[in-house]
Amino acid sequence: MMNIFKRLLLVLLIAFTISCSKSASGSDDEATSTTVDKKANLLAAGDSANDILSTDNFDKILIEIGYVTGFKPTTSAMTQFTDYLRQHTFKEDIEIIYNELPSPAEDELTLKEISDLETKNRTAFNTGSTLAIYIYFADSPAEGDDLEDGLVTLGAVFQNTSMIIHEVTVRKLAARSFSISDADVETTTLNHEFGHLFGLVNLGTDMVNDHQSESENSDGEMAGDNHCNQNGCLMRSELQFGGPVSGKSHQATSKELYEDGIKSACTLSGNTVLGLLQQKSAKGSAATVELDPECILDIRANGGR
């Protein structure tokens, strides 16, 4: 009788062990099969405009700041930037996380290299009702910059939730003016580039009234350039290509807008940004540039404030 009891106990123990083993194995398989879906964060610039502006699908924005050691953005610029987001979107819950990164040790960065750096370092992606944005603050200038002439790229957007700020160039440009700070140039660059993620101008957010400027494209033809033609607007085309403020002209080329299949919606020109900020500062105004009524009208029509 005792032997039968011992055998029964042994059978139950073995069955229990196998059951636990299968359960643990199933958990591991489940954890292994759970992957982050990145596709929604790898679309074209402007494709997520409504998701950013409204709360229909997402009620929170998570902003991951990847910055090279020594090139973290100023607290003032980030405060003004989040104020700008709350001013034009219905997102009240905005979280910023910082990720310090080693330098890629590049003399200059191409769009392809910028995209590769994001692939390597980005950790935040859309989950549930949280929309994720990635901003990389670089210690390298953009390819082809000419600091002496002010024809430099301060920032660029190339995907629906991605942008780069060439912080090293921002600081060098700001240092050329006694009245303009790093934070002033950072804020203008961040806000302008994020305007493209809002879908401006005609880049995922339809225009209520036609106010898109035109410039000469790589084929020598005049075409819409996804910037505003209204004086004083943050999305003014002259902030990209140069013009009256800088006294110089920096026309877009196919090399700037396309590279290895990657399209940049905007490459912000340094001279015009600095000139506009200096003009406002000289008039006693805060060195900030706002969206004009036409751009705000477009934003509101696409779910923004």
According to CATH, what is the number of the domain 42-301? 3.40.390.10
* Selection from 231, 152, 232, 240 nearest residue 196 by Cα: 240
Residue 267, token pair as written in the block:
């490459």
Cα–Cα distance measured from residue 186 to residue 74, given in angstroms and rounded to the nearest whole number: 8
**C-alpha torsion sign, points 233, 238, 239, 240:** positive
At residue 253, the pLDDT reads 33
Q: According to the model, what pLDDT value does residue 265 have?
A: 58
The residues of the chain scoring below 70 in pLDDT are 1-34, 149-150, 238-265, 267, 283-287
Cα dihedral 130→134→135→138 (10° resolution): 150
Spatial neighbors of 258 by CB under 8 A, at least 6 apart, are 264
Single-letter amino acid code for the residue at 301: A
CA–CA gap between residue 305 and residue 70 (Å, rounded): 35
* pLDDT at residue 211 in the model: 97
Q: Position 159: which residue type?
A: Q
Per-residue pLDDT at 246: 38
For the entire predicted model, the pTM comes to 0.82
Identify the pLDDT of residue 152. 81
pLDDT of residue 270: 74
Q: How far apart are CA 280 and CA 269, in angstroms?
A: 18
Q: CB–CB of 214/224 below 8 Å?
A: yes
- In the block, tokens 């706002």 appear at 290
Q: Alpha-carbon distance 129 to 276, whole Å?
A: 38
> In the prediction, which pLDDT does 15 show?
52
So where are the chain's domains?
A: 42-301
